[in-house]
Amino acid sequence: MIFMDQEVFLLAPKCRLSCYKKNTTAYEHLLKENQCLTIRNPSLGENRQKVKYVHSSFKINLNENTIVEQSAEPVGAEWGFDFSPFESVVEDPDNDGKSFKSPIDVIGFVVKCLPSEEKTENNNGKDEKKATFILEDLQHQQIYVTLWGVYADQIIEFQREHKDEKNVVVVVQFGKYRFWGGNLFVSNLYTVTRVFINTEIPEILEFKRSFLAQMNTSTSSGYSGLSSPVMKSMAEEYLSDISFSTIGALTGISEEKFVIILGTIKSFASEDSWFYNACKTCNKKVFTNTISKAKEDCSEGYDEVTVLECQTDRCNKRTVVSVPRIKLLIRVQDCTGIVTLTLFEREVVKLLNVNANQLLDNNMELASEGNFPSELRALINRRFAFKIAICSFNINKKLDGYSVSKLTENPSIIKDLDAHFDVYQAADDEPLGPHASDPTPIVNVNIQDSVSRVVDEDTPMSNLNNSIFTTPSGAHISCSSKMLDNELKRNLEAVYDV
Q: What is the pLDDT of residues 43-78, one digit of tens each?
A: 877 877 777 777 677 777 888 888 888 877 766 667
336 DSSP assignment: T
**How far is the C-alpha of 441 from the C-alpha of 325, rounded, in Å?**
38
Cα separation, 210 vs 140, in Å, equals: 12
The answer to which of 44-48, 94-98, 152-156, 474-478 has the lowest mean pLDDT is: 474-478
HSE-CB for 396 with a 13 A CA cutoff: 3
pLDDT in the model for residue 324: 92
Q: What is the pLDDT of residue 98?
A: 56
- Sequence-ordered strand ranges (E) for 345-465: 383-390, 402-408
Given a cut of 90, whether residue 232 has pLDDT beyond it is no
Range in 4-8, 183-187, 243-247 with the lowest mean pLDDT: 4-8
- Of 308, 71, 79, which is closest to residue 194 (Cα–Cα)? 79
The sign of the torsion formed by the CA atoms of 37, 40, 41, 43 equals positive
- Is pLDDT above 60 for 424? no
Q: Does 296 score more than 80 pLDDT?
A: no
What's the confidence (pLDDT) of residue 470?
34
The answer to whether 390 and 258 have CB atoms below 8 angstroms apart is yes
**What would the pLDDT profile of 318-367 be if each residue is shown by its tens digit?**
788 889 999 999 999 998 899 999 999 989 998 999 999 899 988 888 88
Mean pLDDT within 38-44: 82
The CA distance from 91 to 182, in Å, is: 8
More confident residue, 305 or 486: 305
Question: Within a 10 A sphere around the Cβ of 333, how many other Cβ atoms?
Answer: 23
- If one counts every other C-beta atom within 10 angstroms of the C-beta of residue 25, the result is 9
> What would the mean pLDDT of 202-226 be, rounded to a whole number?
79
| Cis status of the peptide bond prior to 434, with omega within 30 of 0 | no
- Residue 438: CB partners within 8 Å, gap ≥ 6? 497
Contact call for residues 264 and 334 (beta carbons, < 8 A): yes
3-class state of residue 150 by DSSP? helix
Look over the chain and give the mean of its residue pLDDT values, rounded to a whole number.
76
In the predicted model, what is the mean pLDDT of residues 151-171? 90
In one-letter notation, the amino acid at residue 285 is K
- Residue 141 identity (one-letter amino acid): Q
Segment among 159-168, 180-189, 403-412, 450-459 with least mean pLDDT: 450-459
**Confidence grade of residue 445 (pLDDT, cut at 50, 70, 90):** very low
CA distance 312 to 281: 10
Whether the predicted pLDDT of 376 surpasses 50: yes
Which run of H or of E encompasses 488? helix 481-496
Q: What is the mean pLDDT of residues 430-441?
A: 42
Distance of alpha carbon 276 from alpha carbon 344, whole angstroms: 10
Residue type, 227: S
Structure confidence at residue 7 (pLDDT): 56
pLDDT of residue 384: 95
3-state secondary structure of 361: helix
Closest CA relative to residue 190, chosen from 179, 175, 177, 202: 175
Could you give all domains of the chain from N- to C-terminal order, each with its CATH number? Answer: 2-70 (no CATH), 86-220 (2.40.50.140), 238-280+321-496 (2.40.50.140)
**By mean pLDDT, which of 299-303, 350-354, 445-449 is the weakest?**
445-449
pLDDT (average), residues 159-166: 85
* pLDDT at residue 272, as a whole number: 80
**What would the mean pLDDT of 423-432 be, rounded to a whole number?**
44
